[in-house]
Amino acid sequence: MDSTISEFHNMFLTLKRMDAREYAHQIMSLGMVVCSALMIWKFLMLTTMSESPVVVVLSGSMEPGFQRGDILVLALPNEPFRVGDVVVFKISGRDIPIVHRIIELHEKPSGDVQILTKGDNNHVDDRGLYATNQMWLSKKDIVGKAKAFIPYVGIVTILMNDYPLLKYVLVGVMMLFVLANRES
C-alpha cells in the first residue's frame, strides 16, 4: 500500500516539474493513443463486417456456455445462419445488444430469414424481449455471430457500468499515468 502511495506521489512530483511543452507533448501522446484505439476499432469493424466486433456478456442468460463478463468476438460473414449459432442482436428502441442462441429458423423463397432466439439459461424463447408485435428477428436485427470468446475479461466493463464513479477514477488514473510517463 505504501509503495502505491509513493508511486502516485512520484507521479504528482513529475507532473509538477513538467513545463508547458512537456504537457503538450504528453497530451498529444494521449491523443495518439485514443486515435489508435479508434482506428483499431474501425479496422475490426471492416474485417468482421459487424458494427460491433466485440461485446461483453452482461447477464447470466447464456450460462453455462458464456458467463457474465465474457468478451465475445463477433463477425457477420456472408454465410447463412444455422440453428445453434450464438448471435448478438439489437431490438429497435433499446441500446443494449442481446447475446442468445438461434433455436428456430425459417427461410422464405424470397431469401428473407425469420429467426427465433433463446438464452441457454432461460426457460422460454425471446419473443417477450422483441419489440411490440415482433415475433421473429430478421437479418437486419443481427449485429454479429459469435466466433470466439475471452473469459471474464469484460467484467471491468460491467463494474464500470454498475459503479459509474469507478469509470471516472479509472480513466483519471490512466490519464495520470500517460501524462506522468516521460520518455527518457
Is 6 labeled as catalytic in the residue annotation?
no
Annotated active-site residue 2? The verdict is no
Which residue in 50, 70, 126, 141 is the catalytic one? 126
Dihedrals phi, psi of 9, to nearest 5 degrees? -60, -45
Look at residues 75, 74, 56, 76 and name the one whose alpha carbon lies nearest to residue 66: 56
Secondary structure element (H or E) that encloses residue 55, with its range:
strand 54-56
The Cβ-side half-sphere exposure at 10, using a 13 Å CA radius, reads 9
Spatial CA neighbour of 57 closest among 84, 96, 95:
96
Q: Which of 61, 92, 138, 184 is catalytic?
A: 61
Alpha-carbon gap, residue 97 to 137, rounded angstroms: 13
Q: Which amino acid is at 163?
A: Y
36 given a catalytic annotation: no
Catalytic pick among 3, 50, 95, 100 = 100
The set of catalytic residues is 61, 100, 126
